[in-house]
Structure 1
Amino acid sequence: MAEEANRTAFMELQSRMIETTGKLKQVQIQMRSKEGEKKRAYLTLEELRQLPEDTNTYKSIGKAFVLEPKSLLVNEQEQKLRDSEAAITSLQTSKEYLEKQLGEVENNLRELLQQDPGLARQIMSMSVM
């Protein structure tokens, strides 16, 4: 009876671990994407700031380019930079939360396996096959 409960608990912990690991990987991918956006916005902003105020600047819209004032393009890049930084901060918080959850699940699994050595042996014999 207790063995079946331990096995069920192990299965639940295992599925939580897989789910949390997947979410963590997704957050890390989103963070890398936002870092790239932030870097592009920063580099574009630096190039725009070097230009004289009366320079013709163009904004890409699909396959077309539209003449826009430099100040508008600078404002857009500054906004993209701020948005990316805010998203990265939010994703970092999510990442820390998921890492904490993953640590808790790992500890729970470790405790369960220490409490029931028979279950540990069973799992090891299944993974060897």
Structure 2
Amino acid sequence: MEIQGRMIELTAKLKQVQNQMRNKEGEKKRAFLTLEEIRPLADDANTYKSIGTSFVLEPKSVLVNEQEQKLKDSENAIASLQTSKEYIEKQIGEIMSMTVM
């Protein structure tokens, strides 16, 4: 019973980590695509940042920096989540090997 409970707990954690990774991958892709659209614009082009339902005029450099930071943060979070995922998968493997014995 204890092993089964631990297995259920680890499986739930694994699904949670996988969902977080999927969300971060989406954030990373949005930041990358936004950068691809912003970079070719002239430096003096009017660019707007979405804040809720409003749009605020921002210099291009501010938007580029924000998107680059989002991209870096997403990559770091994905790397951390990947480490967590591998650890959980290792624990699941250990529990599976214990049940086989």
- TM-score bucket (shorter structure): over 0.9
Paired positions, count: 101
| Deviations, residues 15-34 of structure 1 (Å, cap 9, x unaligned) | 11010000001000000000
* Corresponding residue number in structure 2 for 1:6: none
Paired letter, 2:4? Q
For residue 79 of structure 1, the aligned residue among 63, 69, 79 is 69
* Superposed structure 1 runs of 4+ greater than 6 Å apart: none
Greater fraction helix: 1
1:61 and 2:51 are equivalent in the alignment? yes
Q: Does 1:25 align with 2:12?
A: no
Deviations 1:30-61 (A, max 9, x none): 00000000000000011100111110000001
Matched, 1:47 2:37: yes
Supply the AA of the counterpart residue of 2:26: G
Larger Rg: 1
User: Unmatched 5+ residue regions in structure 1?
Assistant: 1-10, 112-129
**Matched AA of 2:61:** S
CA RMSD of aligned residues (A): 0.4
Shift, 1:109, TM fit: 1.0
Amino-acid identity (%):
73
For 2:80 and 2:58, how far apart are their aligned partners in 1? 32
Paired residue secondary structure (1:88)? helix
Confirm or deny that 1:93 pairs with 2:83.
yes
Q: Distance in 1 between matches of 2:80 and 2:41?
A: 33
